[in-house]
Amino acid sequence: MSLRQSFREKIHPFVDGELAFALEMRMQGNVEGEFYHLERAHVLGQASTIEHVRVHMLMLAWGFRNYRAREVAGQAVRILGAALFTSVGLVPSGNTGGSNVGPFKPMPIPDDLKSILDQVSTENSSR
C-alpha cells in the first residue's frame, strides 16, 4: 500500500470546498458569485483530468441555467480540451476556465489558491 496520494486525491477536498461555496451562492441567487467560485475550483483542479473536466461540466450547467449561450459553447469546447490535454500538461497556470478568457491564457494565481497548490504539491514528497 502506497503512502503517497495522487494530486487529485490531495486537491479534491479543496475543489469540493469551492464547489460548496458555488452551490451556496446559487442557493442565494447570486449568479456571479456562483461562477466566481467555479472559477476558483477550476484554478485548483485544472492539473487533474477528473477535476478539470468536472469543473468544466459544472460551468456548462451554469451556462445553461443562466441562458449564457457563449458560456455553453465555450464550455463544450473546454470539456473536450480538458479531457484530452490535461494529462499531458497542456493547461495554462491560473486560467479561470470561463469563456471570457482564452483557453490557453496563463493568469496570476490568487495567493490563497497558490498556497493550497503549493501545499498539495509538496505533501508526501519526502516519503
Whole-number pLDDT of residue 122: 85
Whole-number pLDDT of residue 126: 44
**Cα 88 from Cα 111, distance rounded (Å):** 25
> How many residues are there in the chain?
127
56's grid cell? 468544466
Whole-number pLDDT of residue 124: 57
69's grid cell? 449561450
54's grid cell? 468536472
pLDDT tens for each residue of the chain, 127 residues long: 456 789 999 999 999 999 999 999 999 999 999 999 999 999 999 999 999 999 999 999 999 999 999 999 999 999 999 999 999 998 999 999 999 999 999 999 999 999 999 999 887 554 3
Exposed (0-12), middle (13-18) or buried (19+): which is 1, by Cβ within 10 Å? exposed
Nearest alpha carbon to residue 112 among 30, 2, 18: 18
